[in-house]
Amino acid sequence: MPDLSFVFAQSLSGLTAAMFLFLIASGLSLIFGVLRVLNFAHGTFYMLGAYSAYQIVQWLGTGPVSFWVAALGAATSVALLGGIVERFLFQRLYGKEELYQLLFTYALVLVLGDAAKIIWGTQQKSLSRPPGLTGALSLFGATIPYYNLFIILLGPAIALGFWFALQRTRAGRFIRAAALDRETLGALGVNVNALYTGVFVLASFLGGLGGALITPMRAIVPGMDTEVIVEAFVVVVIGGLGSFWGTFLGALIYGQVLSFGILFFPRFSIFSIFALMAAVLIIRPWGLLGKPLK
């Protein structure tokens, strides 16, 4: 019988991982839901978010708010980059074969990944936790850093805000409509191209924010992009591509499987996650909460 406080700590660490993944995977899922493209470059946007946050903190110095300014600034610049890429390149590939769209996003992975290496070198970088969140909380015999707690709370907050925006605002209605039937939406006089750009910008923002916020927990290194994209990918596939709550559920499952998988099969936790993904795809190709493609 494992120690209960240990199980509690383990599930919290899984939850932290889950909320990070949700932040990243929600952008991936949004792009797929509306644009029907699996954006391989989403992980690269996440990496650029991390590097940009690092860069901004270097400029600002370590003040009480510099981390938060850096995080928002990084997410905004990544969002801007996403908008430019979508507007001037990606938009020209709509209506072409899926393979071309897929490979274009992969080309971005190569180009932007190398660009980051040119700008920031290959040395590992890191940021410390923002002042005010450096301590840790003792709960049921487990120690949880405040920063992890913040992430655990931020995840649902963003999820709710996101859900509210999708359900209750005009833009949200258009996004949901575009996911269902873009031709009709265009015929109704909605500027679908602008909407797509908006979705891409929003998704890039989320990816960049995820990257910026992970800097106190993980090292910033080249290659963090290809690693995270596969993780985010598993999350959206398990949850259901394009399904909002599905992504949330997928992230929760992933976090716990990873966290407890390490306990029970220390060497095969990666394997258990891919096996879970394959099982879901075999039984429900559109994921747990997704809907089949027409």
Partner 1 sequence: MINKIPWALVVLVAAFFVPAAGSRYYTFLANDVVIWALFATSLNLLVGYTGLVSFGHAAYFGIGAYATGILMKKMGVSFLLAFPAAGVLAGLFALLFGFFCVRLTRIYFAMLTLAFAQIVWAICFKWNEVTGGEQGMPEIPYPDFGWLERVAAWLPFVGGYRTSEYFYFLTLLLVAGCLWLLRRVVGSPFGRMLTTIRENPERAEFIGVNVRRYELAAFVVAGAFAGLAGGLFGIFNRGVFPDFAYWTKSSEVLIMTLLGGMATFIGPALGALALIWLNQQIVSYTQYWPLILGTILIVLLFVFPGGIAGAVESAVRRLRRRRQVA
Positions in the binding site for partner 1 (CB under 8 A): 36, 38, 89, 92-93, 96, 98-100, 102-104, 106-111, 113-115, 117-118, 226, 230, 233-234, 237, 241, 267-268, 270-271, 274-275, 277-278, 281-282, 285-286, 293
CA distance 252 to 235: 9
CB of 70 to partner 1, least distance (A): 26
Sequence-distant (≥ 6) Cβ neighbours of residue 238 within 8 angstroms: 246, 249, 250, 253, 254, 276, 277, 280, 287, 288
Measured from the CB atom, the residue of 119 and 139 that comes closer to partner 1 is 119
Measured from the CB atom, the residue of 5 and 226 that comes closer to partner 1 is 226
Q: What distances in angstroms separate CA 227 from CA 33, 34, 65, 153, 177, one per listed residue?
A: 22, 24, 30, 24, 32
Q: What distances in angstroms separate CA 104 from CA 184, 199, 228, one per listed residue?
A: 27, 18, 19
Q: What is the DSSP string of 148-209?
A: HHHHHHHHHHHHHHHHHHHHHSHHHHHHHHHHH-HHHHHHTT--HHHHHHHHHHHHHHHHHH
Which of 275, 253, 277 shows the shortest CA–CA distance to 14? 253
- Do the Cβ atoms of 47 and 116 come closer than 8 Å? yes
CB of 59 to partner 1, least distance (A): 26
Which of 14, 15, 29 shows the shortest CA–CA distance to 232? 29
CB of 60 to partner 1, least distance (A): 29
Measured from the CB atom, the residue of 106 and 150 that comes closer to partner 1 is 106
> Which amino acid is residue 269, in one-letter code?
S
Measured from the CB atom, the residue of 28 and 195 that comes closer to partner 1 is 28
Measured from the CB atom, the residue of 61 and 292 that comes closer to partner 1 is 292
CB of 231 to partner 1, least distance (A): 11
Measured from the CB atom, the residue of 65 and 119 that comes closer to partner 1 is 119
CB of 284 to partner 1, least distance (A): 10
CB of 23 to partner 1, least distance (A): 21
Using DSSP, state whether 267 is helix, strand or coil: coil
